[in-house]
Amino acid sequence: MADRIQLLPEHVANQIAAGEVVQRPASVVKELMENAIDAGADQIQLVVRDGGKALVQVVDNGAGMSPADARLSIQRHATSKIREAEDLFRIHTKGFRGEALASIAAIARLELQTRPGEADLGTHLKVSGGKELSVEETVAPKGTSISVKNLFFNIPARRNFLKSPRVEFRHVLDEFQRIALAHPEVGFSLHHDEAELYQLPASNLRKRIGHLFGNRMQDRLVPVEEDTQVVRVSGFVCKPEFARKSRGEQFFFVNSRFVKSSYLHHAVLNAFEGLLRPETVPGYFLFLEVPPESIDINIHPTKTEIKFEDEKTVYAILRSAIKHSLGQFSIRPVLDFDSDPNLQTPYSFRERDAVTPGVTVDRDFNPFAEPGSPSGRTGPVGKPVARGWEVLYEGLQEGGPAAREGLEWTVESDARDGTLFPGEALQDLGGIASFQIDRKYILTPVKSGLLLIDQHRAHQRVLYEQFLKSLSSGQPVSQALLFPLRLEFGPGEMQVLEGLREPMAAMGFRFGKQEGKSLEVVGLPAMIPESEAESVVDGLIAGWQRQEGEIGFSTADRMAKMLSRALAIPPGKVLDAPSRQALIHDLFACTETRRSPFDKIIHTSLTVEELEKKLH
């Protein structure tokens, strides 16, 4: 029998290892920028072309490398921070050269130019597909410049799986924002296709958030601070009224390293319980500092997932810290049994000076004197003033002015209609009666028994088919706004909107000027009220991000689904009888009535036979 097991060639092993670390251009950005930070740089420049597929270049002014270090950095298993196995569990840095460079060099054309501060000349190294092409001395500024060109040029199958430049750049932008937030003390700049998108000066965290997401974001932040023996929590959460449907501004950092954690995200949502609108999530920028030996950051090649030694305690501390901050800044209502509400000063009176009340006494007033007499009290113009309690009955005497004007006294009492469902009037429209159950379902009789309809899913189906019809006709109905709306979004959301402009225009959206992070809306589809414009656009962005990886659906279909999700009647909304009846008629006029656009069952029936079985 022939032998089947063999050692892989070196270049194949390098490409396999690269596939675990480098998934797309954003992975290259993450590794190179983290290396620059660990090199002690205080100014880092990122240059990207064609979404990162053509070029990713990172230039820093940190500690450069010697010629020997430069050549070793592109070798497999070369590292600057691990000397023994125990070092894996007490990692303080992100990785200074090496490790990732070997993986990147194996699947791209890499140029490295570096010079340490004490050297007169630097080193210029060229590598292609893991093979060293040349190394020579050169004149270079202090620091390191690494250019990665033509990613996956030697693995066509992997390159074909890359998305469009716009999508890839959105992932690059996400990585840039994460690293810039984690290190506000470092200055960053970002250039994409010759255009400068960011020039971030070194600052504090609050200002860095404003530079990245707009200055208005600073007014929405609530500081969070808690220091315990287990974990130190710091950062900011956004006020509940600014919660969004899209999940673009949720950041966790553990020991200054960005991580993804659904467990910690649940702790944040738990702290905001009762303060958020349905289907919205709050923004947060939270930093956790724990002993390095109490976490494991090597459970994923990209180190974006983490495992805590005592995760339940971290969960409880994080939730309590956020609740305390929301209560401290009067965002979450709190109960203070030690304070007397009668002694609290209203906000409108806190800046006013105290006024000494004045007392006047009419010593000649005789309560028993007739009105108008010399001893009776009169008003400013000599009109008699009503005496004490008599003012309550003034004008109500028989034949008085109020009686002559037809004043009537009525006594109200609770009305009883004797219906089985209080508050539900049984109205028969076209021979069909309907009821609303739990503000979620519509119950209506049919020939075979009873029909139970989910009002939210039914309205989704109706809107979905209406939007599809509007798109297929090519003549969307748009309503012009008297005053244009100016909406603000983050850079990542603006990138999504750039890709959605054409299909949104086909739906009836009309856009005006775009300045930085703000966009002007001058027209809306006829079915969208102006008051819900920002919520609908936010829902479109969130829906597009959720469906980004889906295939097999046209852009029109995805747009119709997202709009139907954003505009459908929410569960819990009270519908009157005409509205219920109109929804039933619209649903059964659709081509598909059984399932919603998201493949959920819309209605179910209960036959007479089933009712009889339940009653026996």
The 10s digit of each residue's pLDDT in 491-547 is: 767 777 887 888 888 888 888 887 767 788 888 887 788 888 887 887 787 777 666
Q: Do 10 and 282 form a contact (C-beta atoms < 8 A)? A: no
Element (H, E) at 178: helix 165-182
Between CA 149 and CA 135 the distance in angstroms is 18
Nearest to 559 by CA among 504, 601, 605, 597: 504
For 296-316, the pLDDT digits (tens) are 766 555 567 777 888 899 999
| DSSP helix/strand/coil, 220 | helix
Angle between helix axes 262-271 and 311-328 (nearest 10 degrees) is 30
Give the pLDDT of residue 374: 56
Give the pLDDT of residue 547: 61
Lowest mean pLDDT: which of 340-354, 378-392, 483-497, 507-521? Answer: 378-392
Output DSSP code: residue 546: H
Torsion of CA 205, 207, 209, 211, to 10 degrees: -140
pLDDT at 386 over 50: no
| DSSP helix/strand/coil, 145 | strand
The structural domains of the chain, with segments of one domain joined by +, span 10-200, 205-328, 435-604
Is-same-fold flag (10-200; 435-604)?
no
pLDDT at 7 over 90: no
Q: How confident is the model at residue 280 (pLDDT cuts 50, 70, 90)?
A: confident
Mean pLDDT rounded to a whole number for the chain: 79
pLDDT at 426 over 90: no
Q: Residue for token digits 């050169």?
A: 138
User: pTM surpassing 0.85?
Assistant: no
Q: Do 6 and 29 form a contact (C-beta atoms < 8 A)? A: no
> What is the CB-side half-sphere exposure of residue 391 using CA atoms within 13 A?
5
Which residues have C-beta within 8 Å of that of residue 163, sequence separation ≥ 6? 24, 51
Between CA 380 and CA 27 the distance in angstroms is 84
Which residues have C-beta within 8 Å of that of residue 333, sequence separation ≥ 6? 327
Q: What is the mean pLDDT of residues 183-212?
A: 91
Give the pLDDT of residue 429: 40
Q: What is the CATH number of domain 435-604?
A: 3.30.1370.100
Give the pLDDT of residue 442: 92
Question: What topology does CATH give the domain 10-200?
Answer: Heat Shock Protein 90 (3.30.565)
Query: Where are the alpha helices (H) located in 377-515, listed in sequence order?
Result: 401-404, 455-473, 491-507
Between CA 315 and CA 280 the distance in angstroms is 21
We find that the CATH architecture of domain 205-328 is: 2-Layer Sandwich (3.30)
Give the pLDDT of residue 525: 84
Query: Where are the alpha helices (H) located in 295-435, listed in sequence order?
Result: 311-328, 401-404
Q: What Å distances lie between residue 37 and 99, 179, 253, 487, 500, CA to CA?
A: 15, 9, 15, 35, 35
